[in-house]
Amino acid sequence: MTPPVHIIGGGMAGSEAAWQIAEAGLPVILHEMRPNVRTFAHQTDGLAELVCSNSFRSDDHEGNAGGLLHWEMRQAGSVVMEMGARHRLPAGSALAVDRDAFSQSITERITAHPRITVKRSEITDLPPQDWGYTIIATGPLTSDALAQAVLAETGHNSLAFFDAIAPIVYADSIDLSKAWFQSRYDKGETEAERTAYLNCPMDRVQYKAFIDALLAADKTGFKDWERDTPYFDGCLPVEVMAERGRETLRFGPMKPVGLTNPHCPDVKPHAVVQLRRDNALGTLFNIVGFQTKMTYSAQKRVFSMIPGLEAAEFARLGGIHRNTFLNAPLLLDAQMRLKSRPNIRFAGQITGVEGYVESAAMGLLAARFVIADMVKRPLAPPPNTTAMGALIHHITGGANAKTFQPMNINFGLFPPVPSAKGGRGNRKARYKAYTERAKSDWIRWLQGCPALANV
């Protein structure tokens, strides 16, 4: 009998890896510690639970690196992308999902698969040698016991940063006499997509008072060992952004561009707070880019200053948690194997990628490498001209280990396209050249992967 592949962690990466391996005809044991051991960020025991935003970001596969990553995963039979499409919510050009329905569907798919066994128990040590091939995909909330085991094995300190969660508001508590539905620049092919966001405008005086309140608000305290932990720049708390400059938010999540207030069309807002639908029913909206470390009482007071949210009721307030990841350029080889224990691979956010789809993508790649190993068909990493290849190249050697921080997929990780001219004016053409090259190279790489018939 073929020995099972063990996967530790049932998040985005672990669920995707389990699906890919099982679909290739190989047995999988997926270990998930919830509900026996809980984290403060998770609300359920569902697989692939989305604990922060419900957005997979841009779905534009011709001009956006994130959208290109979506495209590559779909070509590889990703269960995450399949369920994301099934539970898609209007979000302009972005892919947002109903978080509960998405997780439930992933859970049902994984648990019903005849070659996947889900075991609900915490793994507190590195797997024994007789487990054979193992993928550790425990994410940014790896349990303390397992994190310490990894630390003891590697001899290197893991890096850590704080990750903040945005609050979620009940839709019927938003004042629509002040807010309006519109995606920036009316992006989207359908009316639902063009009206996917709720917009709350501020004039100059309101913005000044809001920034004053953010800066003065009570924040959650840090333990002594947490004080020097850096934030990830792609997920800064809103008050930390405000501390970097009073105008920072107006050029970030509160930028007033591409929007026209129908309640006052002749007056351009000084700043705009956007909310994005968080479930299929449209009963919940999350405040876009408003991750926070303010105390709960401060959040209610400060966020009620936003026009339209004066009487807002919160389904979930924001929060903050410690996020742990490996110094992957030092510890992992080009196929995400732990250099000291090559039967163990790491995948997902613990490797130093940032974002839901990036995490799932690393699970997909780890699975493909394991499949190739088990059928004794060597498989090189995808070329760094692809989104998948650019990510894995970055975390396994392209980044500087001394300054390594989590990274979303972006065109800065790709080698330049020689035929694409630079310059701000023709950025669209340059990005199109990146995506066209990537698609061709990705299909070629996929064709070299071990097929079901070979397993």
pLDDT digits (tens, 9 = 90+) for 13-37: 999 999 999 999 999 999 999 887 7
pLDDT given for residue 66 in this prediction:
96
Helix 427-447 crosses helix 65-75 at what angle (to 10 degrees)?
20
CA-CA distance, 70 to 134, in Å (whole number)? 25
Low-confidence ranges of the chain (pLDDT < 50): 423-424, 453
DSSP 224-286: GGGTTPPBPGGG--HHHHHHT-TTGGGGTTT--TT---TTSTTS--SEEEEEEE-STTS-EEE
pTM (two decimals): 0.82
pLDDT of 42: 73
Report residue 449: phi and psi, to 5°. -75, 150
pLDDT (0 to 100) of residue 420 = 61
Residues 6+ apart with CB under 8 A from 72: 361, 386, 387, 388, 438, 439, 442
Distance of alpha carbon 92 from alpha carbon 183, whole angstroms:
6
Q: Which of 417, 430, 365 is nearest to 391 (CA)?
A: 365
Strand order in the sheet with 94-97: 55-58, 94-97, 88-89
Instruction: Give the pLDDT confidence score for residue 255 in this predicted structure.
Output: 96
Cβ 347 vs Cβ 363: under 8 Å:
yes
- Give me the pLDDT at residue 216, please: 96
Asked if 140 contacts 235 with a C-beta cutoff of 8 angstroms, the reply is no
Burial 275-313 (b: 16+ CB within 10 A, else e): bbbbbbeeebbbbbbbbbbbbeebbeebbebbbbbeebe
- Beta-sheet pairing, 116-119 with 28-31: parallel
Closest-CA residue to 118 (of 2, 25, 10) = 10
Q: What confidence tens digit (pLDDT) does each residue in 239-297 have?
A: 999 999 999 999 999 999 999 999 999 999 999 999 998 877 788 899 999 999 899 99
Query: Quick one: pLDDT at residue 75?
Result: 97
pLDDT number for residue 147 = 87
Identify the three-state secondary structure at position 181: strand
C-alpha–C-alpha distance, residues 51 and 54, integer Å:
8
pLDDT for 40: 64
What is the per-residue pLDDT for 425? 52
pLDDT of 84? 97
